Amino acid sequence: MKNYGEITGIRYEGKDSREPFAFKYYNPEEVIAGKTMKEHLKFSMSYWHTIDAEGVDMFGGPSMDKKFGKIDPMEMYRAKADFAFELMDKLGIEYYCFHDADVAPEGRTVRESLENFEVMVDYICGLQKRHNKKLLWATANNFGDKKFMAGAATSCSADVFAVAAAKVKSCIDATIKLGGMGYVFWGGREGYETLLNTDVALELDNMARFLTMARDYGRKNGFTGDFYIEPKPKEPTKHQYDFDAATCLNFLRKYNLTGDFKMNIEANHATLAGHTFQHELRMAAVNDAFGSIDANQGDMLLGWDTDQFPTNVYDTTLCMLEVFKAGGFTNGGLNFDAKTRRPSNTLEDILLAYIAGMDSFALGLRTALKIIEDGRIDAFVDNRYRSYREGIGKKIVEGTTAFEELSDYAMNLTDVSVESGRQEYLETVFNNILFG
């Protein structure tokens, strides 16, 4: 196997290639369904996992070193940024995402941290232009530091709320400066450890106040992109308020925040909430809140966020089907919120893992399109609900009937039956298309 340094660019070699550092399914400039593959997929690199995280877990220290031989903090973060944009070049990835804390060193004070961040944003702005990359979205890490241990917008301390606001303000400024079209809220500590010490009503009201102020600040300063809420049910806190898409949507409706806020759906968060990835995407879409995607996969037998690179092509196909049904991405994209397994601790593994994820989504894209072209599944669904396009069904849908009429109608039915749902047949059709 080649070394990281020897690899200049990952190229598409097609499905028969045995070269580890080549794409077998992802052909960025290939046009399918009217757009290039890279336009359909809008792949993004996650700064935190890829550029910062060193393989630490709850039971072990780092398995990688990502200090790039630097000791001075600002120098180290510049080296990280240089590495990041070179990596994106090697992979042919156009977008990236970050938390403020990913790109700049923590200062001794809030002020110093924000200053470090501003300096690094300018540095990244330069890299972005030189490498022709785009910011998919930014976000503030308002969960890592000790001061956020009881929440940020939902902290019991108003001072912490204020610091969180300062950080989000600064990140929104950065998003605008970098031309990002998304801004994400992930409330890692916005929730509770125990209801015994928690005033849920106040905390939810405060969270709404925070998001309202963020929205107002962003709009006032020219941010025209989407705000995203990223649902996750638990971890690190026992319960997080943004449990799943439906919970977030109830919150947004209650506090009149729909429209400005959409969903950033993560596969592994979906399954931790007891849903399929596909389900959460569908829930977002039917509530007019389909936004962006954190592409990864969990281990269905593990109860925490494993953030694995997505390699299950069933899931990537079902995901891309939902993306197509939702009309494709507008401001959003596919961000790999994924990390190599702790024992995959080389730079080569980072490339191999991105290739794994990108090829899996490329296959998912190709298969989703084949399913749509094939038409059998869509036709089945369409036919299944035909009774709502005529007679009593039409009246139901049009709202021109009532229980009295429905009851009379039902009384006169001699036999009421439903057709088979044909799940096994549909799964077979799916497999036949997937495996060709």
Which position among 66, 345, 370, 372 is part of the footprint of a copy of itself (CB under 8 A)?
345
Looking only at residues 264 through 323 of this chain, which bind a copy of itself when binding is defined by CB under 8 A? 271-276, 278-279, 282-283, 286-287, 299-305, 309, 311-314, 318
Scanning 26-34, 87-95, 124-132, 232-240 for contacts with a copy of itself by CB under 8 A, the matching segment is 232-240
In contact, 309 and 353? CB cutoff 8 Å: yes
Q: Of the listed 99, 269, 275, 279, which one is catalytic?
A: 99
**Residue 133 or 282 with smaller CB distance to a copy of itself:** 282
The token duo for 297 is 């996969």
DSSP letter at 313?
H
Looking only at residues 188 through 217 of this chain, which bind a copy of itself when binding is defined by CB under 8 A? 188-189, 193-202, 204-206, 209, 213-214, 216-217
User: Is 49 marked active-site?
Assistant: no
Which position among 66, 131, 341, 370 is part of the footprint of a copy of itself (CB under 8 A)?
341
Which position among 120, 320, 352, 369 is part of the footprint of a copy of itself (CB under 8 A)?
352
Comparing CA positions, the residue from 15, 49, 54, 6 lying closest to residue 346 is: 54
Q: In whole angstroms, how far apart are CA 134 and each of 177, 182, 331?
A: 11, 11, 11
**Residue 252, phi then psi, degrees to nearest 5:** -65, -40
**CB 39, min distance to a copy of itself, A:** 23
**Residue 132 or 427 with smaller CB distance to a copy of itself:** 427
**Residue 133 or 269 with smaller CB distance to a copy of itself:** 269
Residue 196, burial from CB neighbour count under 10 angstroms (0-12, 13-18, 19+): exposed
Sign (positive/negative) of CA torsion 152, 157, 159, 162?
positive
**CB 335, min distance to a copy of itself, A:** 17
Sign (positive/negative) of CA torsion 138, 143, 144, 148?
positive
**Residue 7 or 392 with smaller CB distance to a copy of itself:** 392
Looking only at residues 379 through 398 of this chain, which bind a copy of itself when binding is defined by CB under 8 A? 380-381, 384-385, 387-388, 391-393, 396-397
**Residue 294 or 348 with smaller CB distance to a copy of itself:** 348
Beta bridge partners of 336: 45
**CB 72, min distance to a copy of itself, A:** 20
Which position among 44, 50, 296, 360 is part of the footprint of a copy of itself (CB under 8 A)?
360
Written as one letter, the residue type at 362 is: A
Q: In whole angstroms, how far apart are CA 35 and each of 41, 115, 378?
A: 10, 41, 22
Looking only at residues 65 through 104 of this chain, which bind a copy of itself when binding is defined by CB under 8 A? none
**CB 126, min distance to a copy of itself, A:** 25
Encode burial over 210-243: b for 16+ CB neighbours within 10 A, e otherwise.
bbeebbeebeeeebebbbbbbbbbbeebebbbbb
For position 185 contacting a copy of itself by CB under 8 A, the verdict is no
**CB 321, min distance to a copy of itself, A:** 9
Neighbours of 30 (CB within 10 A): 15
Looking only at residues 138 through 167 of this chain, which bind a copy of itself when binding is defined by CB under 8 A? 143-150, 155-163, 165-166
Q: Is 75 helix (H, G, I), strand (E, B) or coil?
A: helix
CA–CA gap between residue 156 and residue 160 (Å, rounded): 8
Residue the block writes with tokens 């935190």: 48
User: Is 102 marked active-site?
Assistant: yes
**CB 430, min distance to a copy of itself, A:** 7
**CB 370, min distance to a copy of itself, A:** 12
Looking only at residues 49 through 68 of this chain, which bind a copy of itself when binding is defined by CB under 8 A? 55, 57-63
**Residue 31 or 397 with smaller CB distance to a copy of itself:** 397
The token duo for 220 is 């006032």
**Residue 124 or 356 with smaller CB distance to a copy of itself:** 356
CA–CA gap between residue 415 and residue 396 (Å, rounded): 20
**Residue 67 or 376 with smaller CB distance to a copy of itself:** 376
In contact, 293 and 251? CB cutoff 8 Å: no
Q: Of the listed 102, 305, 315, 359, which one is catalytic?
A: 102
Contact code string over 237-256 relative to a copy of itself, x by CB under 8 A? -xx---xx-xx-xxx-xx--
Which position among 6, 34, 130, 423 is part of the footprint of a copy of itself (CB under 8 A)?
423
> Which H/E stretch holds residue 172?
helix 158-178
Size of the site for a copy of itself (CB under 8 A): 159
Written as one letter, the residue type at 352 is: L
- The Cβ-side half-sphere exposure at 184, using a 13 Å CA radius, reads 32
Instruction: Give catalytic residues, as residue numbers.
Output: 99, 102
